[in-house]
């Protein structure tokens, strides 16, 4: 499943020590989910690597991923995250919607196409335990920032598809959500409803700010200030990575609103 940035490789390998790996399954190719995939592919040469067809080329040649991430996060941060390694095209297979992956011992993963966060996003459902491995089709809950934050990054965020994906997950009636940001969640229906609500709230907030001519950086600052006030904390006390998330989410929502506006007759 998701393996983090390239800089996460040694931690993942430590946790997998002594285990046989049959599959590497990034839910999507954003670098915080697939960045270590190339390095892990070398360590596990017999593992099948599965990804949505739209994401396949980016695992084989991650140059566009690197370029886009560097534009968003800057060179210094990308140096800390590490750059993904390309993967031999013969190793990268495609997984489409509603495929089944037999892991043995009665455990079967069912692929669920959940676009919105990204057009190539797959989630995985374990029907025997009713567990949904969500990737980023749901929002973020940082342990040190106890609020729900959406995941609306550029360039392919699509609000309509994100809401439909959340509804699709709801219909599967999972008992658990396993999220990469961060950890397992009970009461999935409550969480999924909260996700739909926060997406609509951020859409309205960003749209209103754009109408008054506010730039992205100011919108992000105002949202961050409001979050810190609701948490009874100073803005400077919020982690830098959380502030980065808010900024990236605002950029993605702005681009979505511009796209939606251009589609109107």
CATH of the domain at 101: 3.60.15.10
- CA proximity to 38, closest of 64, 72, 5: 5
> Would you say residue 80 lies in a domain?
yes
- Residue 258: inside a domain: no
Q: pLDDT tier at 1 (50, 70, 90 boundaries)?
A: confident
Does a structural domain hold residue 84? yes
Burial class (CB in 10 A: 0-12, 13-18, 19+), 262: exposed
Residue 248 counted as domain residue = no
Instruction: Kindly indicate the confidence band of residue 264, based on its pLDDT and cuts at 50, 70 and 90.
Output: confident
pLDDT band at 263 (very low <50, low <70, confident <90, very high): confident
Residue 177 lies in a domain: no
How many C-beta atoms surround the C-beta of residue 126 within 10 A?
Answer: 17
Residue 53 structural domain: 6-138
The answer for residues whose C-beta is within 8 angstroms of residue 102's C-beta and 6 or more apart is: 108
Q: Is residue 187 part of a domain?
A: no
pTM of the predicted structure, to 2 decimals: 0.95
- Residue 163 lies inside a defined structural domain of this protein: no
pLDDT tens per residue across span 12-32: 999 999 999 999 999 999 999
How many folded domains does the chain comprise? 1
Q: What is the pLDDT of residue 250?
A: 98
Residue 107: pLDDT over 80: yes
pLDDT at 109 over 70: yes
pLDDT score of 265: 66
Please indicate, yes or no, if residue 255 is contained in any of the structural domains. no
Percent of the chain with pLDDT over 70: 100
């Amino acid at each position: 499943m998701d393996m983090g940035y390239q800089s996460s490789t040694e931690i993942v390998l430590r946790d997998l020590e002594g285990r046989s790996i049959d599959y590497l399954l990034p839910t999507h190719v954003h670098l915080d989910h697939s960045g270590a995939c190339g390095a892990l592919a070398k360590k596990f040469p017999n593992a099948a690597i599965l990804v949505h067809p739209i994401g396949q080329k980016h695992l084989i040649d991650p140059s566009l991923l690197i370029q886009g991430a560097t534009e968003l996060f800057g060179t210094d941060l990308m140096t800390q995250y590490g750059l993904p390694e390309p993967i031999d095209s013969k190793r990268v297979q495609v997984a489409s919607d509603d495929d089944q992956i037999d892991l043995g011992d009665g455990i079967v993963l069912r692929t669920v196409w959940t676009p919105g966060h990204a057009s190539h996003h797959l989630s995985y459902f374990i029907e025997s335990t009713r567990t949904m491995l969500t990737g980023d089709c749901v929002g973020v809950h940082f342990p040190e920032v106890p609020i729900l934050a959406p995941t609306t990054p550029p360039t392919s965020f699509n609000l309509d598809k994100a809401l439909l994906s959340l509804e699709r997950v709801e219909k599967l009636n999972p008992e658990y959500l396993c999220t990469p940001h961060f950890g397992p969640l009970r009461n999935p229906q409550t969480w999924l409803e909260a996700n739909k609500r926060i997406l609509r709230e951020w859409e309205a907030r960003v749209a209103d700010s754009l109408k008054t001519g506010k730039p992205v950086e100011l919108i992000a600052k105002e949202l961050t200030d409001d979050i810190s006030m609701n948490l009874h904390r100073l803005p400077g006390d919020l982690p830098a990575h959380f502030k980065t998330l808010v900024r990236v989410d605002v950029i993605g929502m702005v681009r979505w609103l511009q796209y939606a506006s251009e589609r109107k007759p």
